[in-house]
Amino acid sequence: GREMLINVTRFFRDTEAFAWLEQHVIAKLVEESGSDTEVRVWVAGCSTGEEAYSLAILLDEALRAADSRKRVKIFATDVDVDAIADASLGRYAAEIRADVSRERLERYFTASGDGYSVRQEVRQQVVFATHNMISDPPFSNIDLICCRNVLIYFQQPIQQKVIAAFHFSLRRRGVAFFGKSESVGELKSHF
């Protein structure tokens, strides 16, 4: 039901967490996998898409810095059909200027009306789909799972089920990126 769908997302939400991700995870993903491979990311509970596009931007910057030809595929999923529709449009209000630097706005967005649209080349890297992380089968061979501030709304047994599915999804050296108030609980040994 709608009561689960609390859309409180922003670009690069929680700056410190994104900075850490950029330095310790993204750069490594770009370096480690072979030159011709694809970096695969799953943003579970992507809401209106800001987080998925934030990751696409960080990956693009890292690939440019490393002069890498690697492809990026970001699966961004949510149970909320309306949020997914908004996310795939990639149109955001002018307020994103508070969270997105001028350089990034110029490189990755185009001004449209009283807001901004994510550029086509960034949107092409992100596949938005309706997906229920509790009951639908998980994606596979994922390098990075981003699921932030979603699990806290689930009961413990459901949390554990979802986290086990994430564990199944990740490649051997894959990384799971959760929200501040979340932990993997009893499944710590898996991560």
Per-residue pLDDT tens for 99-143? 999 999 999 999 988 899 999 999 999 999 999 999 999 999 999
Number of Cβ within 10 Å of residue 165's Cβ equals 18
Average pLDDT over residues 28-36: 73
With a cut of 70, say whether residue 161 has pLDDT above it: yes
The pLDDT value recorded for residue 182 is: 62
The pLDDT value recorded for residue 39 is: 93
The pLDDT value recorded for residue 46 is: 93
The pLDDT value recorded for residue 1 is: 43
The pLDDT value recorded for residue 2 is: 41
Per-residue pLDDT tens for 61-90? 999 999 988 999 999 999 999 999 999 999
The pLDDT value recorded for residue 8 is: 59
Instruction: Report the chain's mean pLDDT, rounded to a whole number.
Output: 87
pLDDT classification of 33: cutoffs 50, 70, 90: low
Per-residue pLDDT tens for 174-187? 898 887 666 655 55
